[in-house]
Amino acid sequence: MSGIEYKQAKDISAESVRESILKNYPAKVARKRSKQIVVNKIDCGDSVPEIMANSRTIPGILTMRGCAYAGCKGVVLGPTRDILQITHGPIGCGFYSWLTRRNQTRPETDADENFMTYAMSTDLQEDEIIFGGEKKLKKAIDEAVELFHPKAIGIFSTCPVGLIGDDVHAVAREMEVKYPDVNIFGFSCEGYKGVSQSAGHHVANNKVFTDVVGQVEMRKEGKYIVNILGEYNIGGDAFEIERIMDMCGFTLHSTFSGNSVYDEFASAHNADLNVVMCHRSINYMAEMMEQKYGIPWFKVNFIGAEATAKSLRKMAVYFGDKDLIERVENVISSELAEVLNVQNEVRPRTEGKRAMLFVGGSRAHHYQELFTELGMETVSAGYEFAHRDDYEGRKIIPDIVIDADSRNIEELKVTADEERFDPRKSSEEKNALESTGLEFSGYRGMMPEMKNNSLIIDDLNHYETEMLIEKYRPDIFCAGIKEKYVVQKTGIPMKQLHSYDYSGPYAGFKGAMNFYREIDRMVNTKIFSLVKAPWQDTPELTGTYAWDK
């Protein structure tokens, strides 16, 4: 039986695909998209072509992007279990951001607070849109305090809140006077702020930094105390990272924000190192904590077994303790032995296959590690909403042009805390560590680590997705739920790298093995060649639309 038959397009040139995409656009659209669709070329010293990013989507284009509210409430604060989060807005915003990201949490005892199982919203109606919603918001806070007595309440603004002019910050201040033991703070994360969810990350980081970090004086026990920034416990990733941290002897003070609690955020300034996993969503916090408290940061990646090992080694070298370095090496070698067994088993079946990755702001880069370990090539990749530095590396930050949309989001002026600023490493110590290859406050970006002639596309849209599939016929396409069924209907296996479909974890060593097995299963499935879609024989389907007795 023959199913969908397509020509294999192994040798297609990225330049020709780029041209076929652009030629169907009206001239003005083509001009803009031509700066956002780039054929990769690495020159000496890691320099790559410039790509336009973090720029408004042209109206009419079916983008993959989300909104600022999603970036603030859904992404950065969402995975924290004991900050009671109230969506100030119509019910849909609260409901559709409720656990759809599959961020997990694990309270230590049944008595511990966990508000993640609730979706709390002011459920704005027409009356409030006309007469204002502040009264309803105050009532919601009264009700929340009465029912749950939380330590902290976050209020999240949706589009209509900004349009009608409700002042969530004034409400927060007033209610804090009424309830002095509850930390109440509001976020101006109206969906339309900025050009994507990226703006919401920045709004979230600013408020958590000013209103939460530094509020509690607590330091966990241990010698090597670390915060992980930008890990959100999708599909249980944070649990695997916690397991590894523990085995190595690091003390994980707080994770922003996978499997986290308020007190850990509030005392995060007492850790001695910040490691940054998702650069896009949280580099602001790392920078501000260094300026105010003197905590250095560097980039890590726990996606991919090799990348995990490399990150652990960097952390051990930072603390410089011989016992720690040895313990980390032991963990790596015992874990890698098992990982390599699985890798060797699946690799003959995955070697040479081709992947495409279009995910938010980090994963399109991080997951290339896992595909490389499977012997697979990433032929095209891009972010939904990342900035130029996530593509080209942080070294280009001074060249980024600030436009009206980026100016919209407040840039905090941070100075050293008079009492608590304590540089964990002197500049000599930092220089010495840098000479061993450890790079502080740096990120190389995705493009220098991809092959020449791979196709990099920012803010991919629906039409371009179809073009990429038609031209390249990849073995697997990775993106999100909005793309999933469109891609599958073309006969290409589709893996959700936001929610992981129903699977995970994919981080760390155990995660790598899960991923290898899953991708092996997906790229080798015969299902698409065994079934025939009805439209292959009969492109036009007819039916009767009537009740006929």
β-strands 455-457, 297-299 pairing: unpaired
* Min dist. Cβ of residue 518 to ligand CFM (A): 16
* Min dist. Cβ of residue 66 to ligand CFM (A): 7
Q: Should residue 362 be labelled a site residue for ligand CFM when binding is judged by CB under 6 A?
A: yes
Instruction: Choose the binding region for ligand CFM from 106-114, 278-286, 335-343, 426-434 (rule: CB under 6 A).
Output: 278-286
Of residues 343 and 378, the one with the C-beta less far from ligand CFM: 378
Instruction: Choose the binding region for ligand CFM from 20-28, 133-141, 276-284, 502-510 (rule: CB under 6 A).
Output: 276-284
Of residues 328 and 494, the one with the C-beta less far from ligand CFM: 494
Among 214, 361, 491, 505, binds ligand CFM (CB under 6 A): 361
Spatial CB neighbours of 351, under 8 Å, sequence gap ≥ 6: 374, 375, 376
Spatial CB neighbours of 103, under 8 Å, sequence gap ≥ 6: 78, 79, 116, 232, 233, 234, 258
Instruction: Choose the binding region for ligand CFM from 27-35, 360-368, 416-424, 513-521 (rule: CB under 6 A).
Output: 360-368
Q: What are the tokens at 389?
A: 């530095």
Q: What are the tokens at 118?
A: 């609730």
Q: Site residues for ligand CFM, window 222-241 (CB under 6 A)? A: 230, 232, 234
Active site residues: 67, 70, 101, 201
Q: Should residue 445 be labelled a site residue for ligand CFM when binding is judged by CB under 6 A?
A: no
For the chain, how far is it from start to end, CA to CA, in angstroms?
Answer: 39
Q: Should residue 316 be labelled a site residue for ligand CFM when binding is judged by CB under 6 A?
A: no
Q: Should residue 280 be labelled a site residue for ligand CFM when binding is judged by CB under 6 A?
A: yes
The 8-class DSSP code of residue 182 comes to S
Nearest to 236 by CA among 511, 530, 529: 511
* Min dist. Cβ of residue 235 to ligand CFM (A): 10
* Min dist. Cβ of residue 260 to ligand CFM (A): 14
Q: Should residue 424 be labelled a site residue for ligand CFM when binding is judged by CB under 6 A?
A: no
* Min dist. Cβ of residue 546 to ligand CFM (A): 44
Instruction: Please identify which residue in the block is written with the tokens 């790229």.
Output: 523
Contact 328, 313 (CB under 8 A): yes
Nearest to 466 by CA among 448, 479, 450, 449: 479
Contact 370, 515 (CB under 8 A): yes
How many helices and strands (H and E) does the chain possess? 23, 14
β-strands 455-457, 37-39 pairing: antiparallel
* Min dist. Cβ of residue 125 to ligand CFM (A): 29
The residue count for binding ligand CFM (CB under 6 A) is: 16
Q: Site residues for ligand CFM, window 188-217 (CB under 6 A)? A: 197
* Min dist. Cβ of residue 68 to ligand CFM (A): 11
Of residues 122 and 205, the one with the C-beta less far from ligand CFM: 205
Could you give the CA distance from residue 548 to residue 78 in angstroms, rounded to a whole number? 51
Q: Should residue 359 be labelled a site residue for ligand CFM when binding is judged by CB under 6 A?
A: yes
Spatial CB neighbours of 220, under 8 Å, sequence gap ≥ 6: 251, 253
Among 89, 498, 515, 522, binds ligand CFM (CB under 6 A): 498
Of residues 172 and 507, the one with the C-beta less far from ligand CFM: 507
Among 33, 65, 88, 101, binds ligand CFM (CB under 6 A): 101
Contact 317, 433 (CB under 8 A): yes
* Min dist. Cβ of residue 362 to ligand CFM (A): 4
Residue with nearest beta carbon to ligand CFM: 360
Nearest to 443 by CA among 320, 361, 500, 360: 361
Among 40, 71, 287, 433, binds ligand CFM (CB under 6 A): 71
Instruction: Choose the binding region for ligand CFM from 263-271, 275-283, 307-315, 461-469 (rule: CB under 6 A).
Output: 275-283
Instruction: Choose the binding region for ligand CFM from 143-151, 293-301, 355-363, 411-419 (rule: CB under 6 A).
Output: 355-363
> Phi then psi for 503, rounded to 5 degrees?
-120, -160
The 8-class DSSP code of residue 46 comes to G
Could you give the CA distance from residue 344 to residue 353 in angstroms, rounded to a whole number? 15
Torsion-angle region of 342 (φ positive above 0: left; ψ -120 to 50: alpha; else: beta): alpha
Q: Site residues for ligand CFM, window 7-26 (CB under 6 A)? A: none
Q: Should residue 360 be labelled a site residue for ligand CFM when binding is judged by CB under 6 A?
A: yes
Of residues 234 and 324, the one with the C-beta less far from ligand CFM: 234
Of residues 66 and 150, the one with the C-beta less far from ligand CFM: 66
Per-position x/- string for 234-273, each x denoting binding to ligand CFM as judged by CB under 6 A, each - no binding: x---------------------------------------
The 8-class DSSP code of residue 71 comes to I
* Min dist. Cβ of residue 443 to ligand CFM (A): 13
Nearest to 383 by CA among 279, 532, 277: 279
Tally Cβ neighbours within 10 Å of residue 96. 11
Coil, strand, or helix at residue 276? Answer: strand
Tally Cβ neighbours within 10 Å of residue 466. 14
- Contacts with ligand CFM, residue ranges (CB under 6 A): 71, 75, 101, 197, 230, 232, 234, 278, 280-281, 359-363, 498
